[in-house]
Structure 1
Amino acid sequence: MSLSLAETVAAIAADMAGRTERGKVATYIPELAGVDPGQFGIAVVDAEGTLTAAGDSETPFSIQSVSKVFTLTLALGKVGDTLWNRVGREPSGNAFNSITQLEYEKGIPRNPFINAGAIVVADAILAGHTPKVALGEILRFLRFIADDEDIHIDQKVARSEQDTGFRNAALANYLRAFGNLRAPVEQVLGVYFHHCAIAVTCRQLALAGRYLAFGGRHPTAGGRVVSAGRAKRINALMLTCGHYDGSGDFAFKVGIPAKSGVGGGILAVVPGKAAIAVWSPGLDAQGNSVLGSAALEILSQRMQWSVFGA
C-alpha cells in the first residue's frame, strides 16, 4: 500500500536521521564551517496549500545560491529577456566559481546560477539603485512570496563572505574587464554576498517556491508573480543548471527542477503539484547537500513526481 505524503515525509526524515554518510560542510566560508552536519529538515507545500514538514524544518540556515532563483526572477522582471544578452542558459560542466571558463567565454557566464552569472544578475537588479535599495527589494520580494516578514540577512555570514570572497571578487573584476558589469565591483559584490547570506527555514523556502510550482501565481495573495511561461523557463534552468556540475546526475536520479546552495539547502519544484525545501549542511564534491539530494530522490520516486514520468 502506498504511503501518504505526510507518511512519506516522516519516513524520509527518519531515514536521513540514521545515515552516517553526510558529506562535509562548506569550510571556505568560515561562518558556515561550524554548522552541525547532523541536521536535516524537509518541508513540502502541495497544491491545496497544505504544508508537511519533518526534522529540523524550523531551523534557519544560510540560503546561499538558492537565492539565485529569486534574484533571477527579479532581474527578469526588471530587464526582461535582454538579460540573456549578458548571461547564458547552458549547464557549466565546471565548478560554480570557475574563473578559467569565464575568461575562455569572454565574460559571458554560462548560466545565472553559477557565481559569475549570479553576479551579473545582481548587477541588473542594482542598476540605478544603491546596494541598500537593491537588497531591500530582494528581501521584500522573498518575504512576499513566502508570506513571512521574518526573513532577514545574517550579517555574520555576509561579513564572512566579504572577508573571504576573493574568487568572487576575481570573477566580478573579470566581468568588469569584459564590459559585463556596469555598477562598481564593490557595490555589486555587496549585493551578491548579502543576498546569499539570507537566513531561511525549510518552511519559509518551500512557501517561497510556490509560484514556480503553480504557474507563476501567488497562491494566497492572488495574481501573478511571473507569467506561466517565465515560471516554466526558470524551472527549466533549475533542472538543467541548478546543481552546478552535478546537474545532470541530479536530473537523472531525481528528475525535478531544483536549485541547491552550499549552505545545504535545496529548493525543488514539482510543476502543478508541490514546492519542496530540504536542508542538510553536509555537501558532496560538487557543493550539493548529500542528505538533501538523497531525500529528494526518495520523495520523487515514492510520489512518482519525476517530470520524466512515473
Structure 2
Amino acid sequence: MEPTESRTLDAIETAVAEIAAEMQAREDRGEVASYIPELARVSPQQFAISVALRDGRTISGGDWETPFSIQSISKVFTLALALGKVGDNLWRKVGREPSGNPFNSIVQLEHERGRPRNPFINAGAIAVTDMILSGHQPKEALGEILRFLQFVSGDDAISIDRSVAASEKATGFRNAALANYMKSFGIVENPVEHTLGVYFHHCAIAMTTRQLAMAGRYLAFEGRNPDTGHSVISLERARRINALMLTCGHYDGSGEFAYRVGLPGKSGVGGGILAVVPGGASIAVWSPGLDHNGNSKLGRDALELLARRMHWSVFG
C-alpha cells in the first residue's frame, strides 16, 4: 500500500468511527415511517455507516451488520436494469426533472397527464418497474432485480423481507392510485396488481450498510465492477444515473442534500441513503428516523460530516 493510500484509509477509518459515535449519541433522531406498519416497529436508536473502496475494502461503524429495508434506494438499481432493457426509450414515459413535491404526490401526475417527473418518485419508479416486468411473470421480474443486487454487491445472501412487502401491499392505496392513473394514459402497460406486486417487493429488499455500499461501487467507478473490471453499465449511463441521484434522489429535499453533502445520493423511507463519490468510494448510511421530507435525518448529517472531512464533493 502506498503511503498516501495508507493515510487516506486511516483518515476514513477515524472519520467513520467518530461520526458513528457522534450519531449514536444524538437525541434528535427524526421520526420513523409510521405509514408502513412494519417500518413503524423499527427502533430509531440505530445508526450504521459503511464506506466501500475500489479494492473492495470496507470501513464500517455502528449497527452495520443489521439488515434494513432499502425502500426507494432500490429505484437506483431498477433504473439501471430498465435502461439496459429499453434504453433511452425509457424517457418517453418518465421525465428527468426534480419534482418539488412529495414522493407520492398525485397532483403533479395529474397535471402532467400521467408522465412521472423522474424515476425516483413513486410514480416514476412504478413506471420503471412496469418496463422491467414487460414480457415476464412477476416472479421472474422480481428475481431479475434481486439477482442484480446480489451480483453488484457480491453477496447472494441478500433477500426480500416478506413481512415488509406484505405491510406495503396492505397499506399501499396511494401507490395503487398512482399506478391506475398512469394505466389510464398507457404509461403502465401490465396489469396494475402485477406491477405493484413487483414494486412493493423490490422496495422491501433488506440489506446491511456494508452490502449496500458494495452494491453501489459500480456507480462510483465508471459503471464497472472494480473487482473484475467488467462493465455493469456504460460510463455514460453511470454518469447520468449519478446526475439524477444528485438532482432527484431526495425528493423535495434534493436541493438541500446537494447543498449540504454535494454528492449523488438516493434515500429510502427505511432510513437508508446510498451516496456516491465518483472515482472514490460508495457510501451507505442508515438511521430509521426521518426528516419532514422522508429522508434519514442522521444519515444526511453523517454524510455531510464525512464529505466535509474527506473533501468529497462533486463541486470541488
Same fold, TM-score > 0.5, yes or no = yes
Confirm or deny: 8 A CA contact 2:160 2:205 kept in the other structure. Answer: yes
> Are 2:273 and 1:273 equivalent residues in the alignment?
no
> Are 2:268 and 1:261 equivalent residues in the alignment?
yes
Map of 1:214 onto structure 2: 221
The C-alpha deviation readout for 1:189-233, integer Å capped at 9, x for no partner, is 000000000000000000000000000001123310001110000
What is the aligned counterpart of 1:104 among 107, 111, 126?
111
> Are 2:44 and 1:34 equivalent residues in the alignment?
no
Alignment of 1:152-163 (within 5 A): 152-163=159-170
- Partner letter of residue 272 of structure 1? G
Deviates more, 1:47-56 or 1:7-16: 47-56
RMSD: 1.0
Provide the rounded CA distance (Å) in 2 between the counterparts of 1:81 and 1:32.
35
> Are 2:214 and 1:203 equivalent residues in the alignment?
no
> Are 2:16 and 1:16 equivalent residues in the alignment?
no
The Cα of 1:46 is off from its aligned counterpart by 1.7
Provide the rounded CA distance (Å) in 2 between the counterparts of 1:204 and 1:48.
15
Map of 1:173 onto structure 2: 180
The Cα of 1:50 is off from its aligned counterpart by 1.7
Alignment of 1:70-89 (within 5 A): 70-89=77-96
Provide the rounded CA distance (Å) in 2 between the counterparts of 1:138 and 1:170.
24
SS at match of 1:42: strand
> Are 2:302 and 1:295 equivalent residues in the alignment?
yes
- Partner letter of residue 255 of structure 2? G
The C-alpha deviation readout for 1:227-260, integer Å capped at 9, x for no partner, is 1110000000000000000000000000000000
The C-alpha deviation readout for 1:83-114, integer Å capped at 9, x for no partner, is 00000000000000000100000011000000
- Partner letter of residue 182 of structure 2? L
The Cα of 1:17 is off from its aligned counterpart by 1.0
Provide the rounded CA distance (Å) in 1 between the counterparts of 2:243 and 2:157.
30
How many percent identity over aligned positions? 69
Provide the rounded CA distance (Å) in 2 between the counterparts of 1:281 and 1:234.
25
Confirm or deny: 8 A CA contact 2:74 2:202 kept in the other structure. Answer: yes
Give 5+ residue unaligned stretches, structure 2: 1-6
The C-alpha deviation readout for 1:45-86, integer Å capped at 9, x for no partner, is 123322100001110000100000000000000000000000
Map of 1:148 onto structure 2: 155
TM-score norm. by structure 2 comes to 0.97
Map of 2:141 onto structure 1: 134
The C-alpha deviation readout for 1:111-148, integer Å capped at 9, x for no partner, is 00000000000000000100000000001100000000
Provide the rounded CA distance (Å) in 1 between the counterparts of 2:99 and 2:75.
15
The Cα of 1:168 is off from its aligned counterpart by 0.1
- Partner letter of residue 36 of structure 1? S
TM-score norm. by structure 1 comes to 0.98
> Are 2:236 and 1:236 equivalent residues in the alignment?
no
Provide the rounded CA distance (Å) in 2 between the counterparts of 1:34 and 1:14.
24
- Partner letter of residue 289 of structure 2? G
Map of 2:126 onto structure 1: 119
Deviates more, 1:214-223 or 1:256-265: 214-223
Provide the rounded CA distance (Å) in 2 between the counterparts of 1:133 and 1:17.
40
Provide the rounded CA distance (Å) in 2 between the counterparts of 1:48 and 1:302.
21
Provide the rounded CA distance (Å) in 1 between the counterparts of 2:282 and 2:89.
28
SS at match of 1:129: coil
SS at match of 1:4: helix
Map of 1:63 onto structure 2: 70
- Partner letter of residue 21 of structure 2? A
- Partner letter of residue 262 of structure 2? G
Map of 2:4 onto structure 1: none
